Amino acid sequence: MQFQSVTFDLDGTLLDTIADLAEACRRMLQEVAAPPRSPEEIHRFVGKGMAVLVERCLTWETSPAPEYLAAGIEAFKKHYATVNGAQAQIYPGVREGLDLWQAHGLKLGVVTNKPAQFTEPLLQRSGLAGYFSVVVSGDSTAEKKPHPEPILHACRLLGVAPQRNLHIGDSLNDVLAARAAGSLAYCVPYGYNEGRPVDSADCDALVSDLVAAYRQALSSSARK
């Protein structure tokens, strides 16, 4: 296989976490006396990290005042720490796909915009932590996806050239980060992507799940 490592997005790729995020947002909005948001709105707001999620929840006619946003972020952190992983579901094909990648001898990592204080507990509670030798969270580097630095940082930790890494995610943020880093990007169609469905033209391969991603990588390598 042409790849030596695979990095994965977390929310919307490995785990469906929207129920937990929506509940934390509901509690946060109630605490700061803001109008409620629907699950569909929360779904569209996910994609660029916790602070952006909270800011989008608190933005109506105008952006929230800095002190109001700060209060919202602190409230969200408190409530999400309580509900993180409570309703999260592993997407179909994730365990099977990770087993295939692992059995092939590839190094596996997670690259997410979620803060580290929530990433590690979520991976532990979901039972997925043991698959990954590297976890890069939203505050592990100075930049978040779509900037390439999180993927570049993961590759450095894995000891793999970015060109030998495959990144799999659910959004254009993942594609942009991977391409800027020099990695190929596969996308799954079932995630969040800020309310915009990914298209096959956006990425190097649009795959139904992680098992299909493994087969696609094998097939592509065989043709080279």
Q: Which residues are catalytic?
A: 9
Q: Say whether 15 sits in a helix, a strand or coil.
A: strand
The enclosing H or E element of 27 equals helix 18-31
Q: Measuring CA to CA, how many Å separate 77 from each of 30, 31, 56, 72, 141?
A: 14, 12, 15, 9, 19
Report d(CA 122, CA 110) in Å as an integer: 12
Which tokens sit at 103?
């059995």
Here the tokens at position 80 are 């999400």
109 DSSP β-pair partners: 7, 134
Long-range contacts of 33-41 (CB under 8 A, 24+ apart): 34/58, 34/72, 35/60
Strand pairing report for 184-187 and 205-206:
parallel
